[in-house]
C-alpha cells in the first residue's frame, strides 16, 4: 500500500493506494472521497490494467494542468514533483499507454513517470539529456511492447 498526503479544498487529506483502489481520508480520519469532485475517477479495476473513460479524462486534465503549470520550469525535478504529475504516476501501469500517446503527440518530459511506473529505462547513457533521443528510446520501447493508444496496456 502506498501513502500520500496533500491538501484539497483547504483541508488536509491522506490517501492510501492499494490493490482495491484508493482510500481518501480527511484530517479527522473520516472517509473524504465524496469531498473531492474527481474522487470517483480515481478508482480503476487493477485486474484489467485499463483506464476507464473517466480516468482517461482525469489523466488528460492532470497532464494539461501539469504542462501549463510547469511550462516555464526548467528544473526536471520540479516538473517531476508537481502534484498533477505525481497523481499520474499514482495511476500506475494503466496510465502508461496514455503517457506514451501524449509523449508521441507532444514530446513532453514524461521520462521520470515512465521510469517510475515501468521500473525500466531504455535510454542509453550517452542519450541522457538529449530529449529527442530519449523520446525515441521510449517510443521504441513502447512499440516493442505493443502499447496501444486506446488506454490499454499490452
Distance CA 29, CA 6 (A): 14
Mean of pLDDT values over 46-68: 77
* Pair (9, 62) in one structural domain: no
Question: Residues 24, 38: one domain?
Answer: yes
Residue 115: helix, strand or coil by DSSP?
A: helix
Cα–Cα dist 62/85, whole Å = 7
Domain count, the chain: 2
The CA–CA distances, whole Å, from 96 to 55, 79, 107, 113, 114 equal 12, 18, 15, 9, 7
Asked if pLDDT for residue 34 goes beyond 60, the answer is no
**In sequence order, which ranges of the chain are alpha helices (DSSP H)?**
53-69, 76-80, 83-90, 96-106, 111-118, 131-145
| Residue 130 predicted with pLDDT over 90 | yes
- What is the model's pLDDT at position 146? 79
Are 33 and 54 found together in one domain?
no
Do 89 and 129 lie in one domain? The reply is: yes
Q: What is the mean pLDDT of residues 114-136?
A: 95
Domain, as residue range, for 137: 49-154
Average pLDDT over every residue of 44-71: 76
The set of residues, in sequence order, having a beta carbon less than 8 Å from that of 145 and lying 6+ positions away, is 154
- Same-domain check for residues 36 and 65: no
Residues 67 and 96 in one domain: yes
Q: Does residue 105 share a domain with residue 29? A: no
pLDDT above 70 covers a percentage of the chain that reads 60
Confidence at 4, pLDDT banded by 50, 70, 90: very low
Residues 29 and 59 in one domain: no
Q: Please tell me whether residues 76 and 138 are part of one structural domain.
A: yes
91 and 19 in one domain? no
Residues 38 and 114 in one domain: no
Same domain, 27 and 101: no
Q: Give the phi and the psi of residue 34 in degrees, each rounded to 5.
A: -70, -20
Give residue 16's pLDDT band: very low, low, confident or very high (50, 70, 90): very low
Amino acid at each position: 500500500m502506498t501513502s500520500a498526503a496533500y491538501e484539497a479544498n483547504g483541508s488536509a487529506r491522506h490517501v492510501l493506494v492499494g490493490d482495491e483502489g484508493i482510500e481518501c481520508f480527511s484530517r479527522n480520519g473520516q472517509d473524504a472521497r465524496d469531498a473531492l469532485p474527481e474522487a470517483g475517477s480515481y478508482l480503476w479495476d487493477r485486474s484489467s490494467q485499463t483506464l476507464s473513460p473517466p480516468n482517461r479524462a482525469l489523466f488528460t486534465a492532470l497532464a494539461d494542468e501539469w504542462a501549463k503549470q510547469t511550462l516555464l520550469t526548467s528544473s526536471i525535478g520540479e516538473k517531476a514533483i508537481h502534484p498533477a504529475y505525481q497523481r499520474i504516476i499514482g495511476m500506475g501501469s494503466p496510465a502508461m499507454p496514455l503517457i506514451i500517446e501524449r509523449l508521441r503527440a507532444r514530446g513532453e518530459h514524461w521520462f521520470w513517470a515512465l521510469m517510475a511506473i515501468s521500473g525500466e529505462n531504455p535510454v542509453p547513457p550517452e542519450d541522457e539529456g538529449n530529449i529527442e533521443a530519449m523520446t525515441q528510446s521510449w517510443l521504441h520501447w513502447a512499440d516493442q511492447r505493443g502499447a496501444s493508444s486506446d488506454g490499454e496496456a499490452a
